[in-house]
A and B are shown apart, each in its own frame.
Chain A
Amino acid sequence: MKKSVFIGTLAAVSVTAGMAAASTLDDVKAAGELKCGVSTGLVGFAAADANGVYHGFDVAVCRAVAAAVLGDGDKVKFVPTTGKTRFTALASGEVDMLARNTTWTFSRDVDLKFEFIGVNYYDGQGFMVPKALGVASAKDLDGATVCIQTGTTTELNLADYFRSNNISYEPVPIETNAEGQAQYLSGACDVYTTDASGLAATRATFEKPDDHVVLPEIISKEPLGPLVRHGDNQWGDIIRWTLNALITAEELGVTSANIDKMSMEAGNNPEINRLLGTEGDLGGMLGLDKEWAKRAVAQSGNYGEIFDSNIGEGSPVGIARGLNASWTDGGLLYTPPFR
């Protein structure tokens, strides 16, 4: 009896599921909060403080979207997701968007039916070794024991790299970054490898950071970006252009300090005017109001400010801009024009 009720419910649900497909924007507005999937904890990218308030580089993207859509960057429900639950959480609608240092790959984009809306951090896999080992290049690591997180792209990258360079290694499988740190510090492995941002954050916590070096080789491309489900292009556009607005704001010199003054009236730079809504109606095309981008930038600053306060050289993590500088400074950040 119970089973047939269950199956009947399933059938009813699958019928209704086909009918009720309101746009994500409407759902978010109706709920009054944005459900944003974040990491359960990654230094600099997402972490809750002692009062339960989330901070971080990925978190700032969620807040910017909430500010643009709902007018308040605090109207976000942060849903902590693990590496294993993140994609189902997004696909099943438990979250409206995912900003969880997720690498943009072909199969995730195409096969899992997600839409990566851009790149907010260009990462790459690196190596950290103790200085005492006397290694200057990853090519000298023949025969080394390597601490490596299982089930990640880093594991595959590592195998590819060592094979193509004809050198051997012995993997020490680990599950979490904390375990990796402990193993590496206790000498269970000679080398710790993970994303360069993670290495920098880890090294900053060591008692004697100067005893360890991050090798110059970066062996993979890890473009990390926020993503949404296939099938709601308007929602995807909103998030894509919110991220673009943060990047463009830095390029145009719009900061959280001067944004109020700049958006009072139209200035001399037409692109700033279009971005901040003093000219034209770009927000209307997205289904938002004119000041959406202004609110997004005002929330936690432009891309550069977010970077500096969370992971940049002003923060304890201390990562240099590198690839993540604007194209005008020799980096890779290059957004299409606001026109």
Chain B
Amino acid sequence: MSDVSYVRTEMLPEKAPPVGQQGLIKWFRENMFSSIPNSILSILAIWAIYAVLSHILPWVFQSSWNASSLTECRANIVAEYGEGATGACWAVVNERFPQLIYGFYPQELRWRLDLAFVGMLVALAPVLFDKLPKKMLWFTAVYPFLAFWLLWGGSIWLPVSIIAGFVLGVVAFKVIGKMFGSLAGMVSVAFVPIIWWLLFAGGAADIAQSIIPLSIQSVPSSQFGGLSLSIIIGVTGIAFSLPIGIVLALGRQSDLMIVKVLCVGFIEFIRGVPLITLLFVASTLLNYFMPPGTNFDIILRVIIMVTLFSAAYMAEVIRGGLAALPKGQYEGADSLGLDFWQATRLVIMPQALKISIPNIVSSFIGLFKDTTLVSIIGLLDPLGLSTNIRADQNWNGIIWELYGFVAVMFFIFCFSMSRYSMYLERKLQTGH
């Protein structure tokens, strides 16, 4: 009697899948060679990628980093890689890197730009990531003035007196609003700060400066340039165009006729005009209107124009978000007894903004790239600087290296913006 059982008592171990059904081979089969047309397309694509890279990569890496002129670059490359070799002359980027980043900002003061940049990241952090403590928002509120002071220098009392205008506006809103009702409060918010800024702010700053002198070396706008200029214009435009755009979008939907007409007129006018035209107005036409000798800062003028331009587009993007909200949301907010501002703040805007995120970020990226247009009116942004660098006989004839470097710098910023927007969309996702 043998102990034979016909039923297996233990499980067989898993076998490895056949070679054709695992790893790279499976992936290639499924994704690239699943049918004859797909195979042909895959081979063509691989060939195209190879053709492009085989030209670009040697040029990028068979290069010279240390030279003082294009001729020296070429000599270096020939010496290293043999007769007839050609490659990139990255030495120009190596030599002019500080200039491409800081422009003509005085060397010993460049720490101020660095500090302003770090400050910008700190100020942005609580806006971008809601896990950070809310108290950091106070720094965000003060940061624009701090940055202005750091970048342009001069007396600290000028930004302080500008902040005072906002404080006065809030006080006026509280006091007048209590005495004469909320409409009068709104009006006073608009006018009290403007009157302060136009008539008293400059004098107050001078007086404060004469009592407690507190100033750092001032840097004129003509010294700004390079990537830092693009960031200054781009970030300021981005930061201010969103709130202005929200107000315009709400105004466009308003039942108040004058508000509506003003908003529609502004948006349609700005959208109907190319940005470059507005920049020309900023750089040349405004000068004719100013009294001779007035120095209305060119960068400030450009920032204002860029912000207005971007705000008009932003308004339309946000209007799209508002239009996408079902009417029930408005009615639901009303039925809860919320007034207009409460409903907008708590119910409408959070949803409308969420819908608009991809478009808002697209506008931001567009705005950031549009800052290169300022090279046409003679500001030395990275593209303007590349012309200038080429005008140095040592570097004349260098084209792709400079443009390539500028492209990489812009790509880093635009790509991070796009990644952040995707993170934000995932986080705000409520559809599951």
Contact = CB atoms under 8 A, between A and B. Distances in A.
A318 to B, nearest CB: 10
Given A40-B388, A80-B384, A204-B393, A93 B292 contact: yes
Interface stretch (A44-52, A189-197, A211-219, A245-253): A44-52
A117 B388 CA distance: 26
Interface stretch (B46-54, B55-63, B157-165, B282-290): B282-290
Contacts of A182: 399
B290 A13 contact: yes
Given A21-B292, A51-B107, A40 B380 contact: yes
A236 B328 CA distance: 72
Interface string A48-80: 111110001000000000000000000001111
Interface centre among A46, A50, A91 (most CB of B within 10 A): A50
Interface centre among A41, A45, A78 (most CB of B within 10 A): A41
Interface in B377-419: 377-380, 384, 387-394, 396-397, 399
B390 A52 contact: no
A52 B104 contact: yes
Given A206-B397, A316-B393, A93 B289 contact: no
A20 interface: yes
A138 B399 CA distance: 28
Interface string A124-148: 0000000000000000000000000
Nearest to A15: B291
B393 A317 contact: yes
A269 interface: no
| Interface size bracket, A side | 35 or more
Given A20-B291, A52-B104, A41 B387 contact: yes
Nearest to B394: A316
Contacts of B371: none
Contacts of A46: 391
B376 to A, nearest CB: 6
Contacts of B238: none
Contacts of A202: 396-397
A35 to B, nearest CB: 9
A39 B289 CA distance: 25
Contacts of A82: 376-378
Contact of A41 (B95, B285, B390): B390
Given A41-B390, A52-B104, A77 B378 contact: no
Contacts of A88: 283-285, 287
Contact of A85 (B283, B387, B397): B283
B354 interface: no
A261 interface: no
B384 A50 contact: no
A262 interface: no
Nearest to A316: B393
B390 to A, nearest CB: 6
A42 B380 CA distance: 14
Contacts of A79: 222, 378
Interface centre among B107, B280, B391 (most CB of A within 10 A): B391
Given A20-B293, A178-B387, A204-B396, A40 B287 contact: no
Interface centre among A45, A77, A85 (most CB of B within 10 A): A85
Ranked 10 nearest A-B pairs via Cβ:
A41-B391, A205-B397, A92-B287, A52-B104, A47-B391, A88-B284, A41-B388, A316-B393, A41-B387, A205-B396
23 contacts: A10-B289, A14-B289, A40-B375, A46-B391, A48-B388, A50-B95, A56-B391, A82-B377, A84-B376, A85-B284, A85-B377, A88-B287, A91-B288, A92-B284, A92-B287, A93-B293, A178-B399, A182-B399, A204-B393, A205-B393, A205-B396, A205-B397, A316-B393
Given A51-B107, A84-B377, 18 more contacts: A10-B289, A20-B291, A40-B387, A41-B391, A43-B391, A46-B391, A47-B389, A50-B98, A52-B103, A82-B377, A84-B376, A85-B377, A88-B287, A93-B292, A178-B390, A182-B399, A202-B396, A207-B86
